[in-house]
């Protein structure tokens, strides 16, 4: 966090100079020295001393080496407690912005694919059993909705961490006439924190961010699990590009969905980071405690894990080949239009429960005689109930089943296209 630490110090020194706590010329000299240190660190001319206690003491020590006593004055009216708190917030604000951008890219890929496959019929599942027909576009938009919520959670977390703790000092503020609002303004915060004890002991922003990241990783894991299933010979709904799969060391026919499996596995790591942070904080009295040093490894790892997984997952989904013919063939089996067959009888005047029972008997008959609802002769339909007529085949066609579901949120292709375009507009992305 060298950049964040130095940025915080520049803002602090600037404010001290404006308030008269330091001479303006001295504050300007400190700021210039800090910019030089940052430039040298980023160019590689200067390396962080591993023997330094922490980044704060390293920067202050290097500044003192360059400026003498002026460097020692930088720490006036602050503590490492409020210093590390502001460094954390500055760093994580940037991380959140980057992660939100990646999630929006993921949503964009899903919406564009949904437009392409808005009418590609596939089975919808409950309990991993074929249930009712949907479209692949509709299925993808379910994940777009999840990631929209993830992006919103990250935005909320960023909003609540956007307050500057500098000036809270160790725990009780300072007697120097400083301007905390000015420091917050210089660092781009919405304002200063309002209680000095809370300012240095608050890590809610880490807990909230880790929770949002864990939920996003769970969504990626669920999607990864479906991709693993879809790639199997039992499904064969999609085929991953070779860049996102590997072969077996001894079985030449294998094409393993390694990236999806790794993302699924990394989810446990992100959830573990969240549990670590909650466990660290659960028993801490006010104000600062050394336990809080454990926050960084966990929250940084959570951010890195989500970023890494999104970096690999996004192009994997974008480049995967969709086998619409296999999806359509799977949808034609399993009697997933049975509900529509019952609805057909309801439209003829039967109560739904009566229709449900009749269609259940028809399905059992079809199974025993190796038939489907589409291939069962109309005469046999009428043997179960006289309300059946030749128009039953139109009612139970998979396309009719999908196209007729036009209620908001349902999988009719026109709904899918409208929803994909609505989401793309919401996140500021184009259809191409």
Catalytic residue from among 9, 118, 211, 248: 248
Biggest CA–CA distance in the chain, Å, is 100
d(CA 139, CA 235): 15
Q: Do residues 184 and 256 make contact, with C-beta atoms less than 8 angstroms apart?
A: no
Q: Where are the alpha helices (DSSP H) in 334-391?
A: 338-347, 352-368, 378-384
Q: What's the DSSP call for residue 377? A: -
Ranges assigned E (strand) in 149-229: 163-164, 191-192
What number of helices (H) and strands (E) belong to the chain?
18, 6
209 token code pair? 């961010």
Q: Is 430 a catalytic residue?
A: no
Q: Is the dihedral of CA 107, 113, 118, 119 positive or negative?
A: negative
What are the backbone angles phi and psi of residue 405, rounded to the nearest 5°? Answer: -90, 80
Contact 305, 95 (CB under 8 A): no
β pairing state of 321-322 and 121-126: unpaired
| Alpha-carbon gap, residue 199 to 153, rounded angstroms | 22
Q: At what angle do helices 2-19 and 80-116 cross, to 10 degrees?
A: 130
Classify 328 as helix, strand or coil. Answer: helix
Region of residue 409 (phi > 0: left; psi between -120 and 50: alpha; otherwise: beta)? left
Quick check: helix, strand or coil at residue 24?
Answer: helix
Please check whether residue 424 is in contact with residue 111, taking contact to mean a CB–CB distance below 8 angstroms. Answer: yes
The tokens describing 67, both together, are 């400026």
Report the distance separating Cα 121 and Cα 135, nearest Å. 4
Q: Which of 12, 29, 43, 127 is catalytic?
A: 127
In the block, tokens 């089943």 appear at 401
Say if CB 164 and CB 189 are below 8 A apart: yes
Tokens at 283, concatenated: 């028993």
Catalytic: 201? no
Residues tagged active-site: 127, 248
């Amino acid at each position: 966090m060298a950049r964040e630490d130095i940025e915080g110090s520049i803002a602090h020194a600037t404010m001290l100079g404006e308030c008269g706590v330091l001479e303006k010329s001295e504050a300007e000299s400190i700021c210039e020295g800090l910019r030089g240190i940052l430039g040298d660190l980023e160019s590689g001319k200067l390396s962080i001393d591993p023997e330094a206690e922490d980044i704060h003491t390293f920067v202050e020590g290097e500044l003192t080496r360059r400026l003498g006593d002026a460097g020692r004055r930088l720490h006036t009216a602050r503590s490492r407690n409020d210093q590390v708190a502001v460094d954390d917030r500055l760093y994580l604000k940037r991380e959140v912005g980057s992660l939100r951008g990646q999630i929006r890219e993921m949503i964009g890929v899903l919406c564009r694919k949904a437009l392409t496959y808005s009418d590609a019929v596939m089975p919808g599942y409950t309990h991993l059993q074929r249930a009712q027909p949907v479209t692949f576009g509709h299925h993808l938009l379910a994940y777009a909705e999840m990631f929209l919520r993830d992006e919103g959670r990250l935005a909320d977390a960023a909003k609540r961490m956007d307050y500057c703790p500098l000036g809270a000092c160790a725990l009780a503020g300072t007697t120097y006439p400083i301007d905390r609002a000015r420091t917050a303004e210089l660092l781009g915060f919405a304002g200063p924190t309002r209680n000095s004890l809370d300012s240095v002991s608050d890590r809610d922003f880490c807990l909230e961010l880790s929770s949002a990241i864990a939920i996003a990783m769970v969504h990626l894991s669920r999607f990864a699990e479906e991709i693993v299933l879809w790639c199997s010979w039992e499904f064969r709904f999609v085929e991953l590009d070779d860049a996102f799969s590997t072969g077996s060391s001894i079985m030449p026919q294998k094409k393993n969905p390694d990236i999806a499996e790794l993302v699924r596995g990394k989810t446990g790591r992100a959830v573990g980071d969240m549990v670590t942070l909650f466990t660290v904080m659960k028993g801490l009295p006010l104000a600062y405690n050394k336990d809080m040093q454990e926050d960084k490894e966990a929250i940084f790892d959570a951010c890195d894990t989500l970023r890494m997984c999104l970096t690999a997952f996004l192009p994997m989904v974008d480049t995967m080949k969709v086998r619409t013919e296999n999806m359509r063939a799977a949808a034609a089996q399993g009697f997933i239009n049975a509900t529509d067959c019952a609805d057909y009888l309801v439209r003829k005047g039967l109560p739904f429960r009566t229709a449900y029972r009749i269609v259940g008997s028809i399905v059992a008959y079809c199974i025993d005689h190796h038939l489907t609802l589409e291939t069962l002769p109309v005469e046999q339909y009428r043997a179960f109930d006289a309300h059946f007529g030749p128009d039953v085949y139109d009612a139970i066609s998979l396309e009719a089943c999908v196209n007729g579901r036009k209620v908001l949120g349902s999988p009719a292709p026109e709904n899918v296209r409208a929803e994909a375009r609505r989401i793309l507009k919401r996140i500021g992305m184009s259809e191409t």
